[in-house]
Structure 1
Amino acid sequence: MLLCSAFNGLSQRVWTELRRDGHHVVVQTADSDDAVRAAVARARPELVLCPFLKERVPEDVWRRHPTVIIHPGPIGDRGPSSLDWAIAEGADRWGVTALSAIDEMDGGPVWGTRTFAVDTADPPRKSSLYGGAVTDAAAALAREVVEKAADPAFTPLPLADHAPGAARGRLRPLMTQVERAFSWEDPTADVLRRIRAADGFPGVRTTLAGLDVSVYDAHPDPHYGAAPRVRPGEISLCQNGAVLVHTGDGALWVGHVRVRGGGSTPSVKLPATTALGARVAHLPRRHEPFPGRPGQSSWSGYREIGYDRVGPVGVVSFDFHNGAMSTAQCERLTAALRYAAGQDTAVLLLQGGDSFSNGVHLNAIEASPRPGPEAWRNINAVDDACAAVLDCTRQLVVAAVGGNAGAGGVMFALGADIVLARESVVLNPHYKSMGLFGSEYWTYTLPRRVGSATATRLTEQCLPIGTAEAAEIGLVDEVLPGTRAEFEAAVLHRAVELACGADRVRLLADKVHRRESDERHRPLAAYRHHELAAMSLDIFENRNGFDELRHAFVTKQPSGRPAAAARAHLLPALVPA
């Protein structure tokens, strides 16, 4: 049994890999001690594994069933803010440890550990570290724990029995806003580290434009040194939703902000210029140079979309915070894709960020004074980006899925001719859990890859799948191992090989012929009209609880009956009655 606070990316990764190994895996969220006890009594698990758990395991559970906690820290590390402290204090190595559940949290006998390097020059966001190196280490460790649990001769080693120096961590408390606090007069590097140690949750509380806010998504701008006429804490420039905030020795971009307290919009994380609204409306605005414009390579700032050319390969890179794509972001991405499709390259490579894409920007929709019309604009803007990929017939298109993808983000990748995925990625190719039918031409791209029956299963069951299964059913074409940097290098190498290969002309001709044949059979516009007709009922009539599910998701609060109904799609498939 996987016992977790939420069925998040790490829990999903462990679930997909253990099932792949042939184990029967059930999932239980820690909604209450009684719910946990009832689920354990029903499933009678041989092992209770906790890959992401903030709550204590009931004592009667861990005394009766082997229970192992996956803790995001090295041996000896204890406490609920491990990654926060690691980033804030500039640790150059960190780890993940599996230990038995006992009375003392994170203090049980050790089943195994993994360690990894942490970049101290450019500190990672906590969410990036968690979704990357921590998840990779935790998934490997979970498989090791399951193997050891099947070995009657194995006994976990008490922490006190580890060799001197092996226990690198220590007990540290919950990191509060007092420990996270900084002054805008501090050096840029210090402010950056503080914000990234709290990104994406809970953010760091500070003041911007006279408002009490929490800040996220910080990026240094090396072109801005200390400006004597701009006081630390002041905002001097806006760009692509971010604001440039001056510090004691320079400036950094703050991409996302949550306004604390009242206000006319819900208190959710939003692009900084949206959250601050009229308070920054008078400031100058700078836009990304259009992809490919001369001098772009020397340009810096808050860059979400880029275009680079590597010989015969054009690379459109995009990195949207948490993979959410707002209306404005989709419009800029579509412009970049259309520009790239018009170049004299042989291959167009689509390369996402930490999260490849998760489709529409639910926070921006929730914060809009008219959520329905904004959701409609957003889904149409995503569709336009998907259409730009599907209409690209001058080049072969390769999608590089190096980070997790969900809903419309998966379907966006499926518009490419070749989909390459990093081995550790988890895909959620469904919409139903958010009360939506979905668009992004999925009724065209998904069945043509996996067949109608499998497309129905994927979109109705609402379950994550790993890349091994995705490759088997044809959802992706090839799975590549390695770190994120290794994956991107391998993908670029494959794209260059494809562009220079003898089969390129034939493959491109086959693509054009297939697209023309499909268009004669049923135009792409017909798929879009069909999907949007269904979406209009979800968005404007709320037929499947989209309003409640969206609100619950962005505010991290229960939504009542609609959320329970959506969860029912998931849990019966995981926890047998």
Structure 2
Amino acid sequence: MRILLLAHAFNSLTQRLWLELEADGHELSLEYDINDATTRDAVALFAPDLILAPFLKRAIPADVWRKVPTLVVHPGPPGDKGPSALDHAVQEGRERWGVTVLEARSEMDAGPVWAQQPFEMRAAPKSSLYRREVTEAAVTAVRMALARLTAGLWPLRAANDGAEGPKPPMRQERRAIDWAAMGSAEVLARIRAADGRPGVLDRSLGAEVWLHDAHPGRGSGAGGALLGQANEAILRATADGAVWIGHLSIRLPGGRRLKLPATRALEALGHALPPETGAADAPNGVRTERLGDLAVIRFPFLNGAMSVRRAQALSRAIRAAAEARVILLTGGPEFWSNGIDLATIEAAASPAEESLAAIEAIDDVCLALLESPAWTIAAMAGNAGAGGVFMALAADEVTARAGTVLSPHYKNMGNLYGSEYWTYTLPRRLGAEDAARLMQTRMPLLAKEAARIGLVDRIAGGAPEAFEAAMVARAEALAGSGALGDMLAEKARRRAADEAARPLADHRAAEIARMRLNFFGFDTSYHVARLNFITGVPKSRTPLHLARHRRMGQMAAE
């Protein structure tokens, strides 16, 4: 089919659906939902058989859905209606939820139902559920809906009705936390229901902040009191215990918000910080587990963002584990890594200097992997973008979980040149010509496509937890294998030959020289793109690599 995706942004769900449907043989183009006139223009240019709306924040014009069959992906079970479907489900502690694919009508979320797919809920943030259970259910449900359409069948239901019924938008008054009266379970549920947007508005710290990234903690004190800090997170007392808050959003001059690690946000507000606790249960840390000759290094950073401090902690852990024969790096369940942390860069006194420091820090992670005498394995359970993809390529082996989305490019962030030793690791895998071609693209890849072209070595199935368990078992077996000695000897021989041909220091210096131009040069594209991304500036146009119908229109005009 000829399918036009209509979306507020090219978010994780929209990317996954694009890649899956393209792999199924459909012809795709995308238009950002900027205004009604732009949508009508896109329909006229592309002449789609179907419009698919996976992520919208407003109604589709009636003349559009009357002209072209239009399916909307709603993150709720049949009967559920409203913009805060998943928020309500998380805050209410629902055990089962679902995704419904329905036809657009004048009443939001009320049209005929073409497919539905239930799933079991986890005790997890809304954003985590969205990237995992909602995304998997949406892929299944969309395929079911397309199968019914192409077979000429009727919808499952004439209208989206059912036991759930409509729900009101989740406002901040319904999310509010009474620290003195509420226990940890309720506090966690409220913050998780608002993660990652909009967060829970809280004024108890003497300033207006929004709470994100909540985790169970241990401690006691007066409700709301700051009990300690670790890994840039803060521990706050509840009525019956404590919770960790990993990130806070604060207001920037001009009214825009910026999400930062909690201690950094408090520092920016001039708030006194609690004492360091070093608690093992604090979020966003780097933790190493030794299993004989295997070292498993986990670094589940929120959204895969690598600040200077977090990258330095990871490189130290890799260096410290060098005595192991095998090192397995697992990242996080939703994100392996997305490269440098743009938020901490935006908050710095000099974003250009902080950008350079962040690149140097993640380069140090890559160097630790490249120089490690151990056999290193990158186990990518979650999505990866930009420098995070190339950080994985510094390992000796790369395995990606089936269904993960990789964005191996820098160009979408203001035409960054990129570092992480990609000029060494990428041609080594793809060859110089294919490496150059990949670096010019702006499109993501599904894991199976990345494996086909040789960007990763293999893919493995299962949920993130099962994937990690299988990777640990495989790495343990390798650590005890008789073949490992020969593998390590060949690795050392190859590294020595490559170093003699062109030292790693030369690759790094050349990459950093180009990055300095991005950070300090006359072209400010990177700084503009970073600010727009971090502060959520709405898109003003759809780039041509997504709006293929507009490229077609340009060629026709020429």
Question: In which range does the TM-score fall when normalised by the shorter chain?
Answer: over 0.9
Query: How many Å apart are 1:492 and its aligned residue?
Result: 1.3
1: CA distance, partners of 2:109 / 2:117: 16
Structure 1 residues 180, 575: closer, same or farther in 2, change over 3 A? farther
Name the CA distance, whole Å, in 2 between partners of 1:413 and 1:442.
10
CA distance in 2, matches of 1:57, 1:462: 27
Match of 1:274 in 2: 264
- Partners of 2:226 and 2:160 lie apart in 1 by 54
Kept after mapping to 2: 8 A contact 1:266/1:367: no
1:554-569 aligned at under 5 Å gives the runs 554-558=534-538, 567-569=543-545
Match of 1:157 in 2: 156
Indicate whether 1:426 and 2:405 are aligned. Answer: yes
State the match for 2:506 in structure 1: 526
- Say whether 1:187 aligns with 2:178: no
**Structure 2 partner of 1:60:** 63
Encode CA deviations 1:33-87: one digit per residue, 9 max, x unaligned.
1111111111111111112122211111111111111111111111100110000
The aligned residue for residue 293 of structure 1 is: none
C-alpha displacement of 1:378: 0.8
Quick check: 1:144 aligned with 2:144? yes
SS of equivalent to 2:257: coil
* 413 and 542 in structure 1: CA distance in 2 versus 1, 3 angstrom threshold: farther
Within a 5 Å distance, the mapping from 1:63-462 to structure 2 comes to: 63-119=66-122, 123-152=123-152, 154-159=153-158, 167-185=162-180, 186-221=182-217, 223-224=218-219, 226-227=220-221, 231-260=222-251, 262=253, 267-277=257-267, 279-281=270-272, 283-287=274-278, 299-302=280-283, 304-341=285-322, 343=323, 345-353=324-332, 354-393=334-373, 395-435=374-414, 436-462=416-442
Q: 1:160 to 1:40 in 2, by over 3 A?
A: closer
Q: C-alpha distance in 1, partners of 2:548/2:117?
A: 33
Give 1:294's aligned residue: none
Distance 1:477 1:378 in 2: 28
Flag the 1:548–1:35 CA change in 2: closer, same or farther, 3 A. Answer: same
* Post-superposition offset of 1:239: 1.5
Cα distance per residue 1:133-182 (max 9 Å; x no partner): 11111112222222222212x111325698xxxx3422101101011111
Contact kept, 8 Å, 1:433 with 1:569, in 2: the verdict is no
Q: What is the distance in 1 between the residues matched to 2:61 and 2:436?
A: 39
DSSP 3-state at the match of 2:440: helix
Q: Distance in 1 between matches of 2:17 and 2:378?
A: 25
Q: Classify 1:518/1:332 alpha carbon distance in 2 versus 1 (closer, same or farther; 3 Å).
A: same
The answer to whether the 8 Å contact 1:28/1:575 transfers is: no
In 2, the alpha carbon distance for the partners of 1:363 and 1:481 equals 32
CA shift in 2, pair 1:125/1:282, >3 Å: closer
Are the counterparts in 2 of residues 94 and 118 from structure 1 also a CA contact under 8 Å?
Answer: yes
Give the match's secondary structure for 1:475: coil
Please state whether the residue corresponding to 1:455 is helix, strand or coil.
Answer: helix
Q: Is the 8 A contact 2:46 2:549 kept in 1?
A: no
C-alpha separation in 1, matches of 2:207 and 2:325: 50
Is 1:571–2:551 an aligned residue pair?
A: no
* CA drift at 1:251: 1.2
Shift in Å, 1:302: 3.4
Indicate if the aligned counterparts of 1:97 and 1:113 stay in contact, CA closer than 8 A.
yes
Residue 510 (str. 1) matches residue 490 (str. 2): yes
**Residue identity opposite 2:510 in structure 1:** H
* Deviations 1:436-480 (CA, angstroms, capped at 9, x unpaired): 111111111112112222222222121011011101001111111
CA contact (8 A) 1:427 1:466 kept: yes
What does residue 13 of structure 1 align with? Answer: 16
Corresponding residue number in structure 1 for 2:556: none
Once the two structures are TM-superposed, the CA of residue 323 in structure 1 deviates from its matched residue by 0.8
* Structure 1 range deviating more: 279-288 or 244-253: 279-288
CA RMSD of aligned residues (A): 2.0
Q: CA deviation at 1:266?
A: 6.4
Choose from 495, 505, 529 the match for 1:549: 529
Q: Residue 544 of structure 1: CA displacement?
A: 5.4
Distance 1:507 1:75 in 2: 54
Q: Distance in 2 between matches of 1:468 and 1:248?
A: 48
Q: Compared with structure 1, are the counterparts of its residues 217 and 77 closer, same or farther at alpha carbon in structure 2 (3 Å cutoff)?
A: same
Secondary structure at the aligned position of 2:340 is classed as coil
- 30, 35, 39: which is aligned to 2:33? 30
Distance 1:333 1:208, change over 3 A: farther
Deviations for 1:181-235, whole angstroms, at most 9, x for unmatched residues?
11111111111110010010000001243111111011111x31x33xxx21121
What is the Cα deviation at residue 575 of structure 1?
5.8
CA contact (8 A) 2:96 2:118 kept: yes
Which residue is 1:296 aligned to? none
Aligned equivalents of 1:267, 1:55: Cα separation in 2 = 22
Paired residue for 1:539? 519
Change (3 A) 1:522 1:266: farther
TM-score, length basis structure 2: 0.94
Give how far 1:571 is off.
3.5
Deviates more, 1:66-75 or 1:50-59: 50-59
2:471 matched to 1:481? Answer: no
C-alpha separation in 1, matches of 2:93 and 2:450: 37
> Which residue of structure 2 lines up, in the alignment, with residue 4 of structure 1?
7
User: In the alignment, residue 567 of structure 1 is paired with which amino acid?
Assistant: P
CA offset digits 1:490-514 (Å, max 9, x no partner)? 1112212222333222222221111
CA contact (8 A) 1:313 1:346 kept: yes
Of stretches 276-285 and 473-482 in structure 1, the one that deviates more from structure 2 is 276-285
Identity among equivalent pairs (%): 44
Distance 1:317 1:370, change over 3 A: same
User: For the residues of structure 2 that align with 1:5 and 1:254, how far apart are their CA atoms?
Assistant: 29
Contact map agreement 2:326 2:479 (CA 8 A) in 1 = yes
1:437 alignment partner, SS class: coil
CA distance in 2, matches of 1:475, 1:422: 13
Distance 1:156 1:559, change over 3 A: closer
| Structure 2: runs of 5 or more not aligned | 554-558
Partner of 1:137, secondary structure, is: helix
